[in-house]
Amino acid sequence: MNAYGTLGIHEPYRHQIQAAELAHAGEHVVIATGTASGKSLAYQLPALDAVHRSELRVLADPGKIHDDGAVTLYLSPTKALAADQLAAIRALKLPTVRAETYDGDTDPASRRWIRDHANFILANPDMLHFGILPNHAWWARFFRRLRYVIVDEAHSYRGVFGSHVANLMRRLRRICAYYSPDGSGPVFIAASATASEPGTSFGRLIGAPVRAVAEDSSPHGSTTVAFWEPALTELRGENGAKERRTAVAETADLLANLVSSRVRTIAFIKSRRGAETIATITKRLLDEVDPSLPQRVAAYRSGYLPEERRALEKSLRSGELLGVSSTSALELGIDISGLDAVLVAGWPGTRASLFQQIGRAAGPVRMPLPHSSRAMTRWTPIW
Phi and psi at residue 61, to the nearest 5°: -140, 70
pLDDT tens across the length of the chain (383 residues): 567 777 677 788 899 999 999 999 999 999 998 777 888 999 999 999 999 988 887 776 655 545 568 999 999 988 878 888 998 899 998 999 999 999 988 888 899 999 999 999 999 999 999 999 999 999 999 999 999 999 998 988 988 999 999 999 999 999 999 998 887 889 999 998 767 788 999 999 999 999 999 888 887 777 788 888 888 887 777 777 888 889 999 999 999 999 999 999 999 998 999 999 999 999 999 999 899 999 999 998 877 777 887 788 788 878 889 999 988 777 665 666 567 889 999 888 877 778 778 877 754 333 333 333 333 333 333 33
Write down the pTM of the prediction.
0.78
Give start and end residues of each alpha helix (H) in 61-158.
79-91, 108-117, 125-127, 140-145
Domains defined for the chain, CATH in brackets: 2-213 (3.40.50.300), 226-381 (3.40.50.300)
Walk across the sheet containing 120-123 and list its strands: 99-101, 120-123, 71-75, 146-151, 187-192, 29-32, 211-213
Q: What type of residue is 219?
A: P
